[in-house]
């Protein structure tokens, strides 16, 4: 007999994951191996995960392994090495989402309400309210007992059920990411655990049915973990419940043991992790938000959540939420928080947010399914960027005229091997079905750089963006690339697909790709597999060298799509992910604009098609330049589509062309920004005082509500694009001195870059509210454009302040019968034409 003594070095003690590693090593030997915890005096069969967990071993506990059997020498050596070298690494924390940026700042109108918040990372925008539920947890007390048949029959059932469960976990393991892999592995260890299996068998032997045996076993081990001194271990009780419930499903079928994900009312669901299929099972009409303690912004579940417009946070601390289970909470998936107490002011804040969202949706509805077209009839197709076929539906319901960029990298990420041809083919066919005749540009894999794929083992590089990325890795991974191209070509038989190659920098690469494609076409022809013989081939225009051989490229490919994200970084030699040089990363640099103008002209001169699919496409402020360029298409994330179409409809392409000419003559990006700001001001001749900015007898109850409502109204009337930022500017002044003037009047004011059309907004309140030290019932809000003429701001402000001193002026305003009457009074008294 050999004995090995050591201290437990694992911060979370021996829980399911490390235990499954210990069990795996021990099971390689015939010897009997016993784990003893010197502190708790509990011993366990080290070949059983559950038994090991039962020793309640925590950090620093003195432990002993006794090994007895014919291979004890080799087992001892192997275990000593394992305990010293591998065991400490078995407890690497499971990936939680890194908090890339600090929490997003709250708008002042919200922050002033001092809401009680738990923060997380915002990954799917929007807000929602509902009962906080923990999903994934299964309650065995609610499961009805099932009568036993004969013992033999029950034993057969159990055996088969366990086999089915193991096969199912093994299948999932094949496509699992690191995190999923570890969790699934721990689950597999439980399902194959000797103690677990013998507990199940012992329950059957006393005449229980499989169902009752599983329930009793779940409770037995659940209790054991619940009683552990480690919080971490107590939480692992969930794993037991999960495995036992899956076992019930495997034995009796999912219909009999339907997953307990049924929502009964508006719910905010929290889970450690949620598989895409679990997410799909949830009733979306009741699911108002999702909180995941794990999961990154690109996990499939998160992508699904985005496409169903379910507000979602990841990396949220599940423990802090426990206290609020079954209570009403509010999630904001844009700002990244859960509000755990919904005060009346907070509730009113979000009522106003809903009102604004509804108004915007109503307005955009008119453009959503219209083709992108300027006021003077110039077409600019508005397409969507997607990363998975599951996003295609929502892209088209947002009004996408096509898919301008299907980034396929994600299909290769977060898994242990590349997808096979049929899997890809099915995904592309799904997208084709959603497109219903519209075209889809599928970009072949752009792996490397900032998009690593572990199983390709591409070594880390000093300059990944200038390194082994996209087309540059294709030769080494040719079979994988060919598989993708075959899948695209096969799918092209069913819909309008186009192929696009990323990061092309030379003619050699284009010719090489064409050769590979020709080979695959030949293969397919000889296999009698149908495909679109005329499938267009295009390239991303994102490396500047292509701009100088664009004429030659036009002879070889059918279309181009400008990758403005990369083209900016490569043209300006600025790493797009390096915060230190971010100020040099500016797509408004005249050099960049001139490059765009050159390539668009050249491509059109050769009768070819050119779009743009980088982030620039969704930037409303830059849209006049993109329309001026004469691009054929811009492609962006789907939610930006309706707003973009609306903006295009208000622009005149000839004016935009002139604007672009001027912008290209500017010497700095800042000059271009000013030019764009001025252009926006000339776009509408909305007067300073207008009835649509005047509201009477409103039920607003605080300074925050007034400022928010008036700023939101400026957004709705098209005078400002970022109402929260405008409101923050107004608050910056209020912080210095409150603008209550006495007599029930207040004049909040700002000169801000966030107001495009200067405005005087008016709000007469139903009841007076506190405004600093004063009370106010009549609020006149001045928001003047930063670029507007000189001291107009102060002139109007002081004229107004002087007038308010006169009772007659105040009475006129207080007693006015309509917004138009107030408009007339202000225009006359302030001498505004
Ligand atoms: C781009 O570079 O603009 C682009 C669309 O590609 P990605 O962001 O995927 O590199
Ligand atoms: Mg790119």
Is the confidence at residue 102, as pLDDT, over 80?
Answer: no
pLDDT: is 718 or 630 the higher one? 630
Distance CA 522, CA 85 (A): 53
Distance CA 463, CA 491 (A): 36
Average pLDDT over residues 325-339: 96
Highest mean pLDDT among 139-153, 261-275, 370-384: 370-384
Is the confidence at residue 94, as pLDDT, over 50?
Answer: no
Average pLDDT over residues 753-765: 93
* Residues pairing with 751 in the sheet: 784
**3-state secondary structure (DSSP) of residue 254:** coil
Residue that has been written with the tokens 């935009």 in this structure: 656
**Are 178 and 188 contacting, i.e. CB atoms less than 8 angstroms apart?**
no
* Residue-wise pLDDT tens digits, 568-603: 999 999 987 777 888 889 999 999 999 999 999 999
Q: In this predicted structure, what is the pLDDT of residue 185?
A: 76
What are the DSSP calls for 34-71, one per residue?
EEEETTTTEEEETT-HHHHHTT---TT-EEEEEEESTT
Average pLDDT over residues 597-612: 98
pLDDT category of residue 328 using cuts at 50, 70 and 90: very high
Q: In this predicted structure, what is the pLDDT of residue 343?
A: 97
Q: In this predicted structure, what is the pLDDT of residue 808?
A: 94
Catalytic one of 21, 187, 294, 749? 749
Q: In this predicted structure, what is the pLDDT of residue 295?
A: 60
pLDDT category of residue 233 using cuts at 50, 70 and 90: low
Q: Please name which of 509, 495, 636 lies closest in space to residue 561, comparing C-alpha atoms.
A: 636
Catalytic one of 15, 187, 754, 793? 15
Q: Cα-flanking dihedrals φ and ψ of residue 253, to 5°?
A: 90, 150
Q: In this predicted structure, what is the pLDDT of residue 95?
A: 41
Alpha carbon 507 to its chain centroid, in Å, reads 36
* Residues pairing with 386 in the sheet: 406
Ligand 1 proximity of 446 Cβ (cutoff 6 Å): yes
Calculate helix-pair angle for 194-205, 178-192, nearest 10 degrees.
40
Q: Which of 409, 502, 596, 622 to mutate to test the pocket of ligand 1 (most atoms within 8 A of CB)?
A: 502
Distance 540 CA to ligand 1 centre (A): 8
Q: In this predicted structure, what is the pLDDT of residue 231?
A: 52
Distance 636 CA to ligand 1 centre (A): 11
Is the confidence at residue 351, as pLDDT, over 90?
Answer: yes
CB atoms < 10 A from the CB of 406, how many?
Answer: 29
Ligand 1 proximity of 409 Cβ (cutoff 6 Å): no
Average pLDDT over residues 500-527: 98
**Are 149 and 250 contacting, i.e. CB atoms less than 8 angstroms apart?**
no
Ligand 1 proximity of 509 Cβ (cutoff 6 Å): no
Ligand 1 proximity of 407 Cβ (cutoff 6 Å): yes
Distance CA 206, CA 622 (A): 75
Residue that has been written with the tokens 């300073």 in this structure: 688
Residue 62 Cα distances to 32, 50, 55, 92, 785, angstroms: 20, 19, 12, 21, 71
Residue 606: active-site member: no
Which H/E stretch holds residue 627? Answer: helix 623-629
Q: Please name which of 249, 251, 96, 94 lies closest in space to residue 186, comparing C-alpha atoms.
A: 94
Q: In this predicted structure, what is the pLDDT of residue 410?
A: 85
Cα-Cα-Cα-Cα torsion 670, 671, 677, 681, nearest 10 degrees, comes to 160
Ligand 1 proximity of 54 Cβ (cutoff 6 Å): no
* Residue-wise pLDDT tens digits, 29-85: 999 999 999 998 999 999 887 888 888 888 899 999 999 999 999 999 999 999 988
Q: Please name which of 98, 125, 210 lies closest in space to residue 162, comparing C-alpha atoms.
A: 210
**Are 317 and 289 contacting, i.e. CB atoms less than 8 angstroms apart?**
no
Write down the mean pLDDT value for the chain. Answer: 90
- The model's pTM: 0.73
Residue 720: active-site member: no
Residue 793: active-site member: no
Residue 14 Cα distances to 31, 38, 231, angstroms: 21, 14, 12
Q: In this predicted structure, what is the pLDDT of residue 235?
A: 53
Q: In this predicted structure, what is the pLDDT of residue 98?
A: 40
Average pLDDT over residues 528-543: 98
Residue 456 Cα distances to 124, 415, 416, 421, angstroms: 30, 11, 9, 17
Average pLDDT over residues 409-434: 90
**3-state secondary structure (DSSP) of residue 297:** coil
Average pLDDT over residues 514-533: 98
Average pLDDT over residues 763-769: 97
pLDDT category of residue 100 using cuts at 50, 70 and 90: very low
Q: Please, what sign has the CA dihedral across residues 272, 274, 279, 281?
A: negative
Distance 409 CA to ligand 1 centre (A): 11
Q: In this predicted structure, what is the pLDDT of residue 143?
A: 80
Distance CA 613, CA 566 (A): 11
pLDDT: is 526 or 232 the higher one? 526
Ligand 1 proximity of 495 Cβ (cutoff 6 Å): no
Q: In this predicted structure, what is the pLDDT of residue 96?
A: 39
Q: In this predicted structure, what is the pLDDT of residue 624?
A: 98
Q: In this predicted structure, what is the pLDDT of residue 225?
A: 75
SS (H, E, C) 120-174: CEEEECCEEEEEEEECCCCCHHHCCCCCCCCHHHHHHHHHHHHHHHHHHHHHHHH
Residue that has been written with the tokens 């106010």 in this structure: 776
Alpha carbon 46 to its chain centroid, in Å, reads 42
pLDDT category of residue 232 using cuts at 50, 70 and 90: low
Residue 814 Cα distances to 246, 494, 800, 818, angstroms: 69, 67, 15, 11
Q: Which of 245-249, 333-337, 752-756, 787-791 has the lowest mean pLDDT?
A: 787-791
pLDDT category of residue 686 using cuts at 50, 70 and 90: confident
Contacts of 8 (CB under 8 A, 6+ apart): 14, 57, 58, 59, 60, 61, 63
Average pLDDT over residues 467-492: 97
Distance CA 772, CA 415 (A): 57
Is the confidence at residue 785, as pLDDT, over 80?
Answer: yes
Q: In this predicted structure, what is the pLDDT of residue 335?
A: 96
Is the confidence at residue 408, as pLDDT, over 80?
Answer: yes
């Amino acid at each position: 007999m050999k004995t090995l003594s050591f201290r437990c070095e694992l911060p979370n003690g021996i829980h399911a994951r490390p235990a499954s590693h210990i069990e795996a090593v021990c099971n390689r030997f015939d010897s009997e191996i016993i784990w003893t915890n010197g502190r708790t005096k509990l011993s366990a069969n080290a070949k059983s995960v559950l038994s090991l967990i039962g020793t309640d071993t925590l950090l620093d506990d003195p432990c002993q392994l006794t090994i007895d059997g014919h291979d004890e020498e080799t087992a001892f050596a192997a275990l000593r090495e394992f305990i010293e070298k591998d065991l400490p690494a078995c407890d690497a924390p499971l990936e939680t989402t890194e908090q890339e940026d600090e929490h997003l700042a709250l708008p002042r109108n919200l922050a002033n309400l001092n809401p009680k918040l738990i923060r997380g990372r915002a990954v799917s925008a929007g807000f929602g309210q509902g009962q906080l539920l923990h999903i994934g947890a299964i309650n065995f007390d609610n499961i009805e007992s099932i009568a036993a048949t004969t013992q033999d029959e029950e034993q057969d059932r159990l055996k088969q059920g366990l086999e089915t469960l193991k096969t199912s976990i093994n299948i999932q393991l094949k496509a699992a990411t690191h995190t999923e892999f570890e969790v699934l592995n721990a689950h597999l260890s439980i399902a194959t655990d000797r103690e677990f299996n013998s507990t199940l068998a012992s329950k059957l032997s006393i005449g229980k049915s499989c169902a009752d045996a599983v329930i009793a076993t779940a409770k037995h081990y659940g209790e054991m973990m619940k009683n552990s001194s480690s919080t971490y271990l107590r939480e692992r009780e969930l794993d037991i419940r999960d495995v036992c419930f899956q076992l019930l499903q495997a034995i009796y079928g999912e219909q009999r043991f339907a997953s307990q994900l049924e929502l009964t009312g508006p719910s905010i669901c929290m889970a450690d992790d949620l598989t895409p299929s679990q997410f799909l099972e949830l009733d979306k009409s009741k699911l108002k938000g999702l909180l995941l303690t794990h999961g990154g912004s690109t996990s499939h579940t998160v992508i699904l959540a985005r496409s169903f417009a379910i507000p979602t946070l990841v990396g949220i601390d599940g423990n802090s939420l426990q206290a609020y289970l079954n209570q009403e909470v509010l999630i904001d998936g844009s700002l990244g928080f859960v509000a755990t107490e919904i005060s009346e002011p907070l509730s009113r804040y979000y009522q106003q947010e809903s009102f604004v969202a509804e108004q915007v949706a109503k307005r955009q509805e008119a453009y959503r399914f219209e083709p992108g077209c300027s006021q003077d009839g110039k077409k600019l197709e508005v397409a969507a960027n997607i990363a998975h076929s599951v996003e295609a539906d929502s892209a088209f319901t947002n009004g996408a005229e096509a898919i301008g960029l299907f980034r396929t990298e994600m299909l290769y990420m977060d898994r242990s091997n590349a997808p096979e041809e049929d899997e890809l083919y099915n995904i592309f066919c799904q997208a084709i079905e959603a497109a219903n005749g519209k075209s889809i540009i599928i970009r072949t894999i752009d792996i490397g750089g900032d998009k690593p794929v572990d199983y390709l083992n591409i070594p880390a590089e000093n300059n990944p963006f200038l390194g082994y990325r996209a087309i540059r890795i294709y030769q080494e991974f040719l079979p994988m690339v060919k598989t993708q191209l075959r899948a695209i070509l096969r799918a092209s038989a069913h819909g309008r697909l186009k192929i696009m190659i990323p990061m092309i920098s030379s003619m050699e690469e284009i010719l090489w790709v064409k050769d590979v494609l020709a080979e695959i076409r030949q293969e397919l022809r000889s296999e009698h597999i149908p495909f679109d013989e005329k499938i267009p081939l295009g390239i991303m225009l994102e490396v500047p060298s292509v701009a100088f051989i664009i004429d030659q490229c036009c002879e070889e490919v059918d279309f181009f799509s400008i990758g403005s994200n990369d083209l900016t970084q490569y043209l300006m030699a600025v790493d797009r992910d390096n915060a230190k040089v971010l100020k040099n990363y500016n797509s408004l640099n005249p050099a960049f604009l001139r490059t765009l103008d050159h390539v668009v002209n050249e491509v059109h001169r050769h009768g070819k098609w050119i779009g743009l699919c980088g982030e620039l496409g969704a930037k409303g402020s830059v849209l006049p330049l993109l329309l001026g360029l004469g691009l054929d298409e811009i492609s962006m994330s789907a939610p930006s589509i309706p707003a973009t179409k609306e903006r295009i409809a208000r622009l005149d392409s000839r004016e935009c062309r002139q604007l672009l000419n001027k912008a290209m003559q500017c010497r700095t990006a800042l000059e271009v920004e000013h030019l764009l700001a001025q252009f926006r001001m000339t776009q509408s001749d909305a007067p300073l005082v207008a009835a649509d900015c005047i509201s009477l007898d409103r039920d607003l109850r605080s300074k925050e509500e007034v400022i928010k409502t008036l700023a939101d109204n400026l957004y709705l009337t098209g005078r400002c694009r970022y109402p929260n930022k405008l409101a923050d500017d107004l608050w910056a002044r209020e912080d210095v001195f409150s603008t209550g003037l006495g007599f029930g009047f207040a004049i909040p004011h700002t000169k801000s870059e966030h107001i495009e059309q200067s405005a005087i907004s008016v709000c007469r309140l139903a009841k007076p509210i506190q405004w600093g030290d004063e009370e106010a019932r009549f609020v006149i809000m001045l928001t003047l454009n930063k670029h507007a003429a000189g001291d107009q701001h102060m002139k109007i402000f002081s004229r107004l302040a002087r007038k308010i001193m006169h009772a007659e002026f105040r009475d006129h305003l207080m007693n006015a019968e309509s917004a138009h009457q107030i408009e007339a009074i202000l225009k006359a008294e302030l001498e505004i034409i």
